Amino acid sequence: MSCDTNHEELFPEFAKVGQPVPEFTLDAFDPTEGGFAKVDLGELRKAGKWVVLFFYPADFTFVCPTELADLATKHEELVKLGAEVISVSTDTQFTHMAWKTDERLLADVKFKMGADPTGEVSRFFDVWDYDTGLALRGTFVINPEGVLVSSEINFYNVGRNADELTRKMEANTYLVDHPAEVCPAKWTPGGKTLTPGENLVGHVYEALND
C-alpha cells in the first residue's frame, strides 16, 4: 500500500458498515495483463465502480486457492454488476505472480491480486491476525459512493461461497434503483421484495405469500 500519511491519519478507526471507506492504493499483480499494477480506490470511486475486497491468509496455502478459484467462476457476473474484484493478502505482488504461475487452481483468475505486506489495509478492515501477521478470510463490498455496505469475516479453516457474494451484490445493485424496498433472506433477482411501512408490521408472511 502507498500513502503519504501514517496509519492513524489515513485510517482513523476500523471499517464500519454504513460508513465511508478512506481512499487508498495497493500494489497488485494483474493476471490479465501478466504484470504489476496499482489498485486505486479513489480512481475506482470516480469511475462509479462497486469494489469487492476479498482478503485471504496467504499464497501457497490450501483453502485459499479453492476460494480464489471459486471467486473466479463468478468474476464475470460481478463485473457485469459493475464491480471491481480485488483479492488481498499480506503477500507481495511478486509472490502473487509466482503463485498464479504455479497453482493450477488459479488458471482462471483474472481479477487483480492486491498486496498488503505491512497489514495496514488488513488492520483497517479488522481481518489482521496479530499473532500470525496474516489476514483472516474477509469479504467487503464498497458501493460507488465509497460506503461499506457488506462485511463478512471467517476464520482460517472455513472457505467462503462466491454464490452468496454474488447474491449480495445482486441485491445491493437492485436496491440502488429501488431504495424504498428491502430484500428478504435468500432473495434473488425476480424474487419478491418488501416495502417497509406500518401496513407491513406483523404481516411479512402475507406480503411474501400473496
Amino acid 10: pLDDT: 61
Cell numbers standing for residue 25: 492504493
Work out the pLDDT band at 210, boundaries 50, 70, 90. confident
Pairing of strands 50-55, 83-89: parallel
State the Cα–Cα distance between residues 87 and 66, nearest whole angstrom.
13
Work out the pLDDT band at 13, boundaries 50, 70, 90. confident
For 138, phi and psi rounded to 5 degrees? -115, 135
Domain total in the chain: 1
The answer to the question of residue 113 being in a domain is yes
The answer to the question of residue 129 being in a domain is yes
Q: With the C-alpha atoms ordered 95, 98, 103, 105, is the resulting torsion angle positive or negative?
A: positive
> 120 to each of 12, 134, 209, how far by Cα in Å?
12, 11, 47
- Count of C-beta atoms within a 10 Å radius of residue 101: 11
Average per-residue pLDDT for the chain? 94
The answer to the question of residue 204 being in a domain is no
pLDDT over threshold 70, residue 2:
no
> 85-95: per-residue pLDDT in tens?
999 999 999 99
Domain that holds residue 22: 7-160
pLDDT over threshold 90, residue 8:
no
> 175-195: per-residue pLDDT in tens?
999 999 999 999 999 999 999
The answer to the question of residue 165 being in a domain is no
The answer to the question of residue 144 being in a domain is yes
CATH number of the domain within which 70 lies: 3.40.30.10
Amino acid 147: pLDDT: 97
The answer to the question of residue 186 being in a domain is no
Does the annotation mark 3 as catalytic?
Answer: no
Cell numbers standing for residue 178: 429501488
> 123-178: per-residue pLDDT in tens?
999 999 999 999 999 999 999 999 999 999 999 999 999 999 999 999 999 999 99
Amino acid 15: pLDDT: 94
Amino acid 4: pLDDT: 35
> 63-79: per-residue pLDDT in tens?
999 999 999 999 999 99
The answer to the question of residue 138 being in a domain is yes
The answer to the question of residue 63 being in a domain is yes
Percent of the chain whose pLDDT exceeds 70: 94
Catalytic position from the list 44, 53, 64, 136: 64
Average pLDDT on 33-52 reads 97
